[in-house]
Structure 1
Amino acid sequence: MSSSLYRLGLLMASLRWKIVGAWVALLVIVGGLAVGLGGTFTADIEIPGTEGQRGIDTLANRFPEMGGTAGQVVLVTEDGSSVDQHQDEIDALMEDIAEVEGVAAAPSPFDDLSPGTRTDDDTAIIAQFQMEGQTGAFPESSVEEIRSIVEEAGTPSLETHLGGQVLQSAEVPFGAGEVFGIIAALIILAIVFRSLIPAFIPIVTAIVGVGVSMLALVALSAGVDIPSVTTALGAMLGLAVGIDYALFILSRHRDQLAHGDDVHESIGKSLATSGSAVIFAGLTVIIALVGLFITGIPFLTVMGVAAAATVALSVVVALTMLPALMGILGERLRPRRIRRLMAENEGALPEPDPAQRPRRSFGRAWVRLVTKVPALTILAVVIGVGALAIPIKDLELALPDLGTEPVGTDARDTYALVSEEFGPGYNGPLLVTADIINTTDPLAVVDELESDISELDHVKEIQLATPNQGADMAVVVVIPEGGPTEQSTKDLVADLRDSADGWEQDLSISDVTVTGATAIGIDVTDKLSAALLPFALFVVGLSLILLTLVFRSLWVPLKASVGYLFSVAAAFGVTSMVFEYGWFNGPLFVDVNGPVVSFMPIMVMGVLFGLAMDYEVFLVSRMREEFVHTGDAKHSIERGFTANAPVVTAAALIMVSVFAGFVTSGWFMLQPIAVALAVGVLVDAFVVRMTFVPAVLALLGRHAWWLPRWLNRLLPTVDVEGEGLAGVLEHRRWTEEHGVHSLRLEDAVAPLLGEKGTLGPLTGAVAPGSLLVVRAPDSAARATFLGLVAGRVAPVSGVLAVHDRLSPDDIGAVQAQAHWIGADAPVARRLEQIDGRRVGRSVIVIGELEDLAHAAVSVDDTLVERIDALLARGATIVVGSRAEHATDAERRLHATLRDPRRMLALSVQRSTAQTPEGALA
């Protein structure tokens, strides 16, 4: 992968203006689609299959007057008079509302069939109205029209307030907090780079990535139901990871420029090294977010996929637009002091003074401190994180209601007024539905059902009990004593559902459901809570697998997973402190305390997993690299930490700044997630990765890097620090010295196909435009060699280069430029199908020399001419021969070629002590 990224970096730098122009054009095109399609987001959160959702769907079909979005008009007299004295005004108000487009019903609260709820002193009354369907089914302008009607109906003696679910907005509030978060990130970047120009680059690339993804979501929302919180979550993640990923690559580029590297060469190398880690880090976040499908909750899956797409786009921007911008800015990204030194020394950087002492760094001092007595450091971390995690016991989950809207909005003020004047239960009525088609006296059954429900605990009153117009369905509107998120309401929902079977038997009714916004919220919370453990097992299991692949160790992944759980525990604990205990509410602009949004834990676990693995890879991979080179476990921790800790520190501070900016938005749907992520990143970066991890590694010593040999053989190699780049650069130097070759083997060893043993070591080189006959009576040895050059077999050691692609790192590219013609295949026809325009970098592998000879004599007498043409265009043809020496077929082929010098022969055999390698004949 590193060699492909190296070439990608060079390509993006060479096409710099075209690449930047392409991204700008994409932004404009997607923006045009978003405006043209006019999509809207939904505020409804549904879970198909739950009882609450089934009940709402049934109401929409059989009792549409009760199935749409509900609205309230709360009317309060100012002079202490009775609301009856204002009946004419109130009736006129409800008639005006009934005429608004999208309103299904707006009855008078004085109607005997649907009376409004009054206070005991008759100074306030609630009038209900119903919209046609859920949010999005009726025009958005209808709500504003109703708002205007209600405001104009107010008089000095009669207050009018609009409330209810109709005010549940799908708009995402973005304000100054997000801007301050970006400004803070810019300041941190300027400090890290000690220059303003490079500081702007990650901000620009992150904004482009987020802009494209958010506009794409707006366009998609025209045909797909996308929750409104998705955009805020995607923007928050996109900005955070977009800035961080650009920082990792750009900081490597600046370090290389500070050491005198060429600009374009440095761009390629920075993508090959840090770019590999960015891809891995992005993949971990994407996999964790897409893994939300495990919950089986559609809206959460949509949120996860949308957020994952935003992260993926951030990775693509970092790998394409970022190197293009680095190419445009060129030498201006080189530190000013280095530019001056190079100018004074004719473009070369002078050798450093060996007598000069290295500068003291806080990072070196810190890692020495935490690893001095590692057991004590580990104990301190466990105690500290444990203290932060204690409040988790009081963390409650629920879906936000209108009581979580910002203070000063109509929705929040009316919610508070209803709670104060009528009781909290009126903000969360429950709807009990029943199929009464089999009853002979519907009204009597409804009365009896109403009576049974009113006797249950935590029932304040029955607001309405009525059959529908067809008398085949009954609805009982139950007002609980507590608010929508209180435990007493949850207990009442459970009691109603437990009683359903008895009512169905006693009253000869069926399909009793408890529904409404409050019941649906309880169902959503229960299902999310049940999905939390399976998702946690998925995430932790995934981290163990991924990190075992990367670090070739068992202890490092275990330590990383434990550290991740520490970060999650601290994040949830602090979230509980803020939103349950009310700590720091003022500075964080938190308007309400109580249960946090139900999907906060599962969403935070998914996102934080990716970010935690990100920091783990950037820090520990450098430590592993030092250990592999030196074998010194203790000093590899210090050197690896000192090298990468500053970048990880900056990245974590940027993430915290961005997340903190979204906390101040005042939107309760997003605030707990932003708080949890900000705290989680802070704890993970500074407490877990920079304190706990070095201490554990120091305690384990060399054992930290232990992996059973059998497992090491089974695991594929994952290059996240660009280790393969060294091979690419070495092959380029070899090519400069020896010329361009289509095949290069140097001490290459490969496992035999289908048998035990190995082939090689093999050493040799073949120029483009050559025909190589591979002689081997040993079928396994011959097939293995042909498989090597075709990318079907990977070498276990040594160098194998096909043109400029190295195997196994670029085995996919080797396969892409190979044409395989197996035994008994129609050689003439297959060679005719090869595109001559792209054949210059191709390797054509023919399994049997006899097949080629037979085709040339009996099938196509122009076949040799076609082979000459392919060779002249630079193609390399490799043919397998079963003979140990030259055969008649081989001699005839040699004699008929236009340039016989193009033909080479190679004898290969499996590895033995006497015959260690193949030999060119």
Structure 2
Amino acid sequence: LSLLGHKVDRLKIPFLRRIDEREASRETTLTARWGRFVTAHARGVFLVVLLVLVALAATSALVRLGASDQGTQPDEQTARRAYDLLAEGFGAGFNGPIPIVVDVNGDQQAPQRIYDRVRNLEGVASAGEPQLNDEKTVAIVFVTPDSAPQDEQTSELVDRLRADVIPAATSGGDAVAYVSGLTAAFTDIADRIMERLPLFLLYVIGVTFLVLAMAFRSIVISLTAAITTLLSAFVGFGVLTLVIQEGHLLGLTGLDRTGPIETFVPPIAFAILFGLSMDYMVFLMSRIREEHVHGLPTREAVEHGIAAIGRVVVAAALIMGTVFAVFILTADRISKEFGLLLAIAILTDALLVRMTLVPAFLTLLGEKSWYMPRWLDRVLPNITIEPPHDREQPVVRLDVERPAEATGPT
């Protein structure tokens, strides 16, 4: 860029008007007008957007983590066709048998007792006779469920085998039995993820809070950033659950059968979303804080910040959302899940949260937005992301007419 100098803007893009980057011209852009609309109707905008986001986020409570089987893949794939043939010819559970591995430990009758208890169990289509190794120390009993590997009934069967059937069959002896298979494995992974999720969120939110508090010298800003990012993430999970698991508008993704959400999708997607969301927050708040440090009240600083940096946030979100949405076009179900979740979450975070909810919230709080306890201000080092420079000229603002209700407190 240094070598190109002013020539970097030499070639004009056809059919697009050249952007006027003067301070006064920014106040007439669409993002600037949107910022003034949000601040002028801050209370109503905040309540409406918050209710919509919370309603969408609440649907994430319906999520069921697990492993989708080949029956959820697009029907043009050979794996899907083979799955359907096996399910039609031998039953849905034939595609995902549940092995029960028995460490005999001298109790030679334990495998037979397990077989006797599971073969007539509700939800079991069939069970194979115990198979032992040559030394008679390890046995395996294959259980074929009535339901498909990804079905909730299969997960419930695994839980019953572990909690009731196997303990009763091995009581009074030294034999130990383990339930294995695809359904059991992903159930264990899901349980482990949910067990560690609070620590994961606490770590990410804690680090975000400290860094942004050091940068913006406000616990309100740092807490707002962390909480609203969580809200955007849960909106993405909620929409993913409604589409992939519940089947609403499922055909738009190229799938024709619902299933659970893969256990590893939420933590990976959340980490990606949190990083991108913090970028948008830093872009916006660094400019708003700069305007406020230079003497503008919070409301005008918000308006000026959106006018100056709003186009960057919107453009970045549209680019990333489009890139992620392309994954929906792939044939793989997991790629579709990542694409749908991240596209919805990124666009929600940038357009509804950063450009609407947060500005309205800051307008309602006014100067309280910059609250920082004195003791915390002394303890935390000052690592301001973008130290404000001294202006040679005061801020140039157009006399834009405001709605009548904007003249009083909102």
Question: Is the structural similarity TM-score above 0.5?
Answer: yes
Letter in 1 for 2:79: A
Question: What SS does structure 2 have at the residue aligned with 1:432?
Answer: strand
The question of whether the paired residues in 1 share the 8 Å contact of 2:97 and 2:181 is answered with yes
Q: 1:393 aligns with which of 61, 75, 97?
A: 61
- Work out the CA distance in 2 between the residues paired with 1:357 and 1:617: 24
What is the Cα deviation at residue 358 of structure 1?
6.6
**Structure 1 gaps, min length 5:** 1-262, 265-326, 338-351, 727-921
- Work out the CA distance in 1 between the residues paired with 2:26 and 2:244: 47
> Per-residue CA shift, 1:155-203, capped at 9, x if unaligned?
xxxxxxxxxxxxxxxxxxxxxxxxxxxxxxxxxxxxxxxxxxxxxxxxx
- Work out the CA distance in 1 between the residues paired with 2:26 and 2:133: 84
Match of residue 546 from structure 1: 211
- Work out the CA distance in 2 between the residues paired with 1:459 and 1:380: 49
Match of residue 365 from structure 1: 33
Q: Pairwise mapping of residues 757-768 of structure 1 onto structure 2 (< 5 A)?
A: none
**Structure 2 gaps, min length 5:** 13-21, 391-410
The question of whether the paired residues in 2 share the 8 Å contact of 1:458 and 1:480 is answered with yes
Letter in 1 for 2:166: A
Question: What SS does structure 2 have at the residue aligned with 1:686?
Answer: helix
Match of residue 501 from structure 1: 167
The question of whether the paired residues in 1 share the 8 Å contact of 2:115 and 2:127 is answered with yes
Q: Pairwise mapping of residues 379-418 of structure 1 onto structure 2 (< 5 A)?
A: 379-418=47-86
Match of residue 7 from structure 2: 332
- Work out the CA distance in 1 between the residues paired with 2:262 and 2:89: 27
The question of whether the paired residues in 1 share the 8 Å contact of 2:36 and 2:303 is answered with yes
Match of residue 211 from structure 1: none
What is the Cα deviation at residue 575 of structure 1?
0.6
Q: 2:250 aligns with which of 585, 609, 629?
A: 585
Question: What SS does structure 1 have at the residue aligned with 2:294?
Answer: helix
What is the Cα deviation at residue 404 of structure 1?
3.3
Match of residue 430 from structure 1: 98
What is the Cα deviation at residue 583 of structure 1?
2.7
What is the Cα deviation at residue 357 of structure 1?
7.0
What is the Cα deviation at residue 387 of structure 1?
2.7
- Work out the CA distance in 1 between the residues paired with 2:26 and 2:198: 49
- Work out the CA distance in 2 between the residues paired with 1:359 and 1:435: 75
- Work out the CA distance in 1 between the residues paired with 2:62 and 2:85: 28
> Per-residue CA shift, 1:504-555, capped at 9, x if unaligned?
234x342211112222122112212222232222222222222111110011
- Work out the CA distance in 1 between the residues paired with 2:185 and 2:31: 51
> Per-residue CA shift, 1:347-369, capped at 9, x if unaligned?
xxxxx9x9x87762111211111
Question: What SS does structure 1 have at the residue aligned with 2:128?
Answer: strand
- Work out the CA distance in 2 between the residues paired with 1:581 and 1:489: 18
- Work out the CA distance in 1 between the residues paired with 2:253 and 2:76: 17
- Work out the CA distance in 2 between the residues paired with 1:445 and 1:512: 9
Q: Pairwise mapping of residues 108-123 of structure 1 onto structure 2 (< 5 A)?
A: none
> Per-residue CA shift, 1:376-404, capped at 9, x if unaligned?
11101111112322432322211232223
- Work out the CA distance in 1 between the residues paired with 2:78 and 2:299: 62
- Work out the CA distance in 1 between the residues paired with 2:236 and 2:384: 31
Question: What SS does structure 2 have at the residue aligned with 1:586?
Answer: helix
What is the Cα deviation at residue 722 of structure 1?
5.4
What is the Cα deviation at residue 460 of structure 1?
1.5
User: Is 1:714 matched with 2:382?
Assistant: no
User: Is 1:535 matched with 2:200?
Assistant: yes
Q: Pairwise mapping of residues 37-186 of structure 1 onto structure 2 (< 5 A)?
A: none
- Work out the CA distance in 2 between the residues paired with 1:409 and 1:362: 46
Letter in 1 for 2:63: L
The question of whether the paired residues in 2 share the 8 Å contact of 1:434 and 1:473 is answered with yes
User: Is 1:636 matched with 2:301?
Assistant: yes
Q: 1:572 to 1:493 in 2, by over 3 A?
A: same
The question of whether the paired residues in 2 share the 8 Å contact of 1:437 and 1:471 is answered with no
Match of residue 46 from structure 2: 378
- Work out the CA distance in 2 between the residues paired with 1:381 and 1:565: 15
Q: 2:353 aligns with which of 684, 688, 694?
A: 688
Aligned-residue CA RMSD (Å)? 2.3
Report the TM-score when normalising by structure 1: 0.40
- Work out the CA distance in 2 between the residues paired with 1:556 and 1:358: 25
What is the Cα deviation at residue 718 of structure 1?
1.6
The question of whether the paired residues in 1 share the 8 Å contact of 2:39 and 2:303 is answered with no
Question: What SS does structure 1 have at the residue aligned with 2:74?
Answer: coil
User: Is 1:478 matched with 2:143?
Assistant: yes
What is the Cα deviation at residue 331 of structure 1?
4.3
The question of whether the paired residues in 1 share the 8 Å contact of 2:94 and 2:145 is answered with yes
Q: 1:335 to 1:457 in 2, by over 3 A?
A: same
Q: Pairwise mapping of residues 250-269 of structure 1 onto structure 2 (< 5 A)?
A: 264=2
Question: What SS does structure 2 have at the residue aligned with 1:587?
Answer: helix
The question of whether the paired residues in 2 share the 8 Å contact of 1:571 and 1:676 is answered with yes
Match of residue 279 from structure 2: 614
Match of residue 655 from structure 1: 320
Q: 1:358 to 1:688 in 2, by over 3 A?
A: closer
- Work out the CA distance in 2 between the residues paired with 1:582 and 1:335: 50
Report the TM-score when normalising by structure 2: 0.86
The question of whether the paired residues in 2 share the 8 Å contact of 1:536 and 1:605 is answered with no
Question: What SS does structure 2 have at the residue aligned with 1:669?
Answer: helix
Letter in 2 for 1:609: F
Question: What SS does structure 2 have at the residue aligned with 1:594?
Answer: coil
Question: What SS does structure 2 have at the residue aligned with 1:590?
Answer: coil
- Work out the CA distance in 2 between the residues paired with 1:331 and 1:372: 38
The question of whether the paired residues in 2 share the 8 Å contact of 1:400 and 1:669 is answered with no
> Per-residue CA shift, 1:707-746, capped at 9, x if unaligned?
12222121112232255x88xxxxxxxxxxxxxxxxxxxx
Q: Pairwise mapping of residues 449-528 of structure 1 onto structure 2 (< 5 A)?
A: 449-498=114-163, 499-506=165-172, 508-528=173-193
- Work out the CA distance in 2 between the residues paired with 1:712 and 1:357: 37
What is the Cα deviation at residue 569 of structure 1?
2.0
Match of residue 901 from structure 1: none
Match of residue 69 from structure 1: none
Match of residue 627 from structure 1: 292
Larger RCO, structure (CA 8 Å, separation 6 or more): 2
> Per-residue CA shift, 1:624-680, capped at 9, x if unaligned?
011001142221111111110001110000000100011211211222122111000
> Per-residue CA shift, 1:473-525, capped at 9, x if unaligned?
1110001121112222112212221233332234x342211112222122112
Aligned-pair identity (%) = 34
- Work out the CA distance in 2 between the residues paired with 1:373 and 1:330: 42
Higher strand proportion: 1
- Work out the CA distance in 1 between the residues paired with 2:168 and 2:250: 46
- Work out the CA distance in 1 between the residues paired with 2:120 and 2:81: 32
The question of whether the paired residues in 2 share the 8 Å contact of 1:399 and 1:525 is answered with no
Question: What SS does structure 1 have at the residue aligned with 2:367?
Answer: helix
> Per-residue CA shift, 1:333-354, capped at 9, x if unaligned?
13458xxxxxxxxxxxxxx9x9
Letter in 1 for 2:53: V
Letter in 2 for 1:412: R
Q: 1:556 to 1:437 in 2, by over 3 A?
A: closer
Letter in 2 for 1:598: T
- Work out the CA distance in 1 between the residues paired with 2:376 and 2:58: 39
